Amino acid sequence: MRIYVSGSVAFDRIMSFPGKFSDHILPDKIHILNVCFLVNGLDERFGGTAGNIAYSLALLGEKPVIVSTGGKDFAPYAERLEGLGLSLEGIRRVEDEFTAGAYITTDQSDNQITGFNPGAMKHKAGYKPDPGADEALAIVSPGNLQDMLDYPAAYRKQGIPYIFDPGQNITALTGDQLLGAINGSRALVTNDYELQLIMNATGKTRDELLGLTEALVTTLGEQGSLVAEAGKETRIKPAKPKKVADPTGAGDAFRAGLIKGLCLGRGLADAALLGSTCAAYCVEKLGTQEHAFTQDQFWARHKENFSS
């Protein structure tokens, strides 16, 4: 199956704060917020929503097309993707910009504060999906804002099922824009906080959103996820990680497992279980693309977590 993953490719600069943000933020002084967090060093890693999803899909034996943009410093990322057997055909190079970069600080309660420089992501990818005779599936994840509006329309026109995953770009889109992208999607995938933001922005209830998309897939962190389809809801158990090193990227890993399940012809609830297993691998490592597994290892752990 041809898989299109649109969104960002970025370099992540990840910092860990050995304390809790809440101990240093005074609620009654939030209007004059001025804080400094002394972190335990910095790690630069490969990231971005599309890059993260594609990475885990590659581990799962898929070869998705990444639809994104890279900047003048993109060469190391390109080499990495090619090493994974992934095509660069969907990535536009913007030579007068830096590749997008995220600056992520995580505290001991797994809270995060992120600064993001869009760089090359300010430009549209300009890629035209053409599945030909192949079956296809797409996910539209946070990236260039115009791409997030254009690709849902293009996929609908081509009859390509797509997942809409607006994530951190929800607040950058209007309610009407969100509704336009959600309408006709195979699923709207968010966490519970993001779903509430969408309902606030659009004025729609969960049931009304389900009238626009086939399903709502809502991740709930360590509590698993919830799959809501017409007439039913299914609570999805979390897979148990061996340790929790960093929650960054777990949502993208979940989406990769979800897509893998759909590629295998599974229903959304079963596909979400694969997402849980993939997310568990991710949180065991610091960074969004540092986890690794063979397919045999993945299926053995999945069976261990969900065989009952």
Kindly state the average pLDDT of the residues 97-107. 90
Alpha carbon of residue 201 to chain centroid: 21
CA atoms 150, 218, 303, 285: torsion sign: positive
pTM of the predicted model as reported, rounded to 2 decimal places = 0.90
Kindly state the average pLDDT of the residues 180-208. 97
For the question of residue 252 being annotated catalytic, the response is: yes
Whether the Cβ atoms of residue 281 and residue 293 lie closer than 8 Å to each other: yes
| Structural domains of the chain, with CATH | 2-23+36-306 (3.40.1190.20)
Q: At what angle do helices 175-182 and 192-202 cross, to 10 degrees?
A: 110
Question: Does position 78 have pLDDT exceeding 80, yes or no?
Answer: yes
Confidence (pLDDT) at 3: 97
Kindly state the average pLDDT of the residues 119-137. 90
Given the residues 134, 165, 252, 296, select the one marked as catalytic: 252
User: What type of residue sits at position 277?
Assistant: T
Q: At what angle do helices 268-283 and 250-263 cross, to 10 degrees?
A: 140
252: alpha, beta or left? (left if phi > 0; alpha if psi -120 to 50): alpha
Confidence (pLDDT) at 13: 82
User: Which of the pair, 231 or 38, is modelled with greater confidence?
Assistant: 38
Confidence tier at 308 by pLDDT (50, 70, 90): low
Q: What is the pLDDT of residues 240-269, one digit of tens each?
A: 999 998 888 999 999 999 999 999 999 999
Least confident of 46-60, 96-110, 262-276: 96-110
The structure tokens 């824009």 sit at 177
Distances from the Cα of 98 to the Cαs of 9, 84, 94, in angstroms? 11, 23, 8
Question: Does position 111 have pLDDT exceeding 90, yes or no?
Answer: no
Question: Does position 133 have pLDDT exceeding 70, yes or no?
Answer: no
Confidence (pLDDT) at 25: 86
Q: What is the pLDDT of residues 8-50, one digit of tens each?
A: 999 988 888 999 998 988 888 888 888 899 999 888 899 999 9
* Strand partners of residue 107: none
User: Which of the pair, 42 or 215, is modelled with greater confidence?
Assistant: 215
- What is the SS3 assignment for the chain? CEEEEECCCEEEEEEECCCCHHHCCCHHHHHHCCCCCCCCCCEEEEECHHHHHHHHHHHCCCCCEEEEEECCCCHHHHHHHHHCCCCCCCEEECCCCCCEEEEEEECCCCCEEEEEECHHHHCCCCCCCCCCCCCEEEEECCCCHHHHHHHHHHHHHHCCCEEECCHHHHHHCCHHHHHHHHCCCCEEEEEHHHHHHHHHHHCCCHHHHHCCCCEEEEECHHHCEEEEECCEEEEECCCCCCCCCCCCCHHHHHHHHHHHHHHCCCCHHHHHHHHHHHHHHHHCCCCCCCCCCCHHHHHHHHHHHHCC
The structure tokens 């694969």 sit at 274
Confidence (pLDDT) at 12: 84
